[in-house]
Structure 1
Amino acid sequence: MKIDIWSDIACPWCYIGLTRFERALTEFPHHDGVQVTVHSFQLDPSLPDSYEGTEAEYLASRKGISVTQAESMFGQVAQAAATEGLSLRFDTLAVANSRRAHRLLHAALKADPSGATQRRLKDALFRAHFTSGESISDPEVLVRLATTAGMNAEDAAAALEDPARDAEVAADIARAVELGISGVPFFVLDGRYGISGAQPREVFDRALTTVWDELHPRIEPLKVPGLEGFSTGPACGPDGC
């Protein structure tokens, strides 16, 4: 089963939603048969590499609300994150453009097509951004996180300004537009079923089971009224007839 996920590193609900999804996938009985690909999405491509103000000041200016209102919104998100064991520090968060980090995620997928390195890096980027107050646009930070996730340092550094990787980021964003995705996180199961937002863990549990069962239907014995034993008649097997 193939699952595609669109998300942005600078998105707290993406951090929460992907955490819930990963926990559901870990306990899914058929998780070895699930291929997960993380796709790029940018909530604000116009952000500079480094923004001098706070996250509350940035959101207030972008949405036309007060800093106090922005801080209240952050408090609600932080509470939701805490229920998942995540610590979101909006007071120390370094507001920065996520484009370089997205290029790096594509390089991680190229280096490890299984997606495992990419997903480790994605989690490290979330923690660096929301918990540690590190800039997700700083090349030194990005290369360090990439090597910790399992990438080669030289490859990671080269990816940060690589036009080929940037084209892959742009293609992901264009594909999101084609699919009508306007908010993240967004999960697409088997190329057909969409789940929008950081849904409760139970939603991901049910979705994984439902789509897997649809793709792998089990054959049920035929029951014919009046013909006892019809569905389990004599047959030959590996141990004989």
Structure 2
Amino acid sequence: MENKMKIEIWSDVMCPFCYIGKRNLENALEQFTESKEIEVVWKSYQLDAEMPQVAEESYIDYLVQRKRMPIDQVEQMLAGVTESAKQVGLTYNLDKSVLVNSLNAHKLLQFANTKGLGNELEERLFSAFFTEGKNIADLATLSQLGKEIGLDEAALQTAFTDDNYAYRIAQDIAEARHIGVQGVPFFGLDSRYGVSGAQPPAVLLENITTAFAEWRERNPKSVLKMTSEGPSCTPDGICE
């Protein structure tokens, strides 16, 4: 298996800055010349594990009633985060967002991770929640989203029935507490550096560059020392 430097991201599907952080990371990696040697791993984190499975409140009502925030402050905050999303090319329709427990979505994410499709599912979940107003607790909806990104529709049902995936979520959350994660998104670079929040691409790029340089020192490229050379053919068709 190819050795790559890991960027681990603790995130919750319902965190508006996590989707923005994903875009900023992608922007940073586009500028990073060694991006092919980076592996992005999505980790589970629940901002509110007590959220109901069935929607009871709008985004505004949730923040006003559960977080005890003044409504004018909430409206200003949501307008600000919607504008921040727009700046990175995202469309947030927070008035349509269905506020439900994200546990089932995280179970599907854990399953997708085992199939190498965690990044694709995370993108689909974010879009479904923030832009399309889909219910990310509904199993039929989640099954459809998983199918759309290439997961086998029958196989992915184990995400909701096998306790192993709930256990993986608990492990991610416990690890987050252990390393001092106070909020999401949180980026763990090579298990050595931590970047908290939806930082600008330039900040992420600087930290990735630093972490990767140290990772490369510990994981040098394997290059054979040429002891002799003879006639050969090159990929461009030259034989001499």
Task: Name 2:101's counterpart in structure 1.
Answer: 97
After TM superposition, give the deviation of residue 30 of structure 1 in Å.
Answer: 1.1
Identity of aligned residues (%): 38
After TM superposition, give the deviation of residue 237 of structure 1 in Å.
Answer: 6.4
Task: Name 2:111's counterpart in structure 1.
Answer: 107
Letter in 1 for 2:212: W
After TM superposition, give the deviation of residue 67 of structure 1 in Å.
Answer: 2.7
Moved over 3 A (4+): 236-240
What does the per-residue CA deviation read over 1:58-99, in whole Å, with 9 as the maximum and x for residues that have no partner?
Answer: 011122123332121100000111000101111111101100
Alignment gaps of 5+ in structure 1:
218-235
* Cα distance in structure 1, aligned partners of 2:123 and 2:19: 8
Match of 2:8 among 4, 22, 28: 4
Task: Name 1:77's counterpart in structure 2.
Answer: 81
Task: Name 1:53's counterpart in structure 2.
Answer: 57
* Cα distance in structure 2, aligned partners of 1:157 and 1:148: 14
After TM superposition, give the deviation of residue 238 of structure 1 in Å.
Answer: 4.9
Aligned length: 219
Q: What TM-score, normalized to structure 2?
A: 0.86
Letter in 1 for 2:32: F
* Cα distance in structure 2, aligned partners of 1:197 and 1:157: 32
Asked if 1:199 corresponds to 2:199, the answer is yes
Asked if 1:18 corresponds to 2:22, the answer is yes
The 5 A counterparts of 1:192-231 are 192-217=192-217
Asked if 1:123 corresponds to 2:123, the answer is yes
Are the aligned partners of 1:87 and 1:130 in contact in 2 as well (CA < 8 Å)?
yes
After TM superposition, give the deviation of residue 31 of structure 1 in Å.
Answer: 1.3
Alignment gaps of 5+ in structure 2:
218-225, 231-240
After TM superposition, give the deviation of residue 28 of structure 1 in Å.
Answer: 1.8
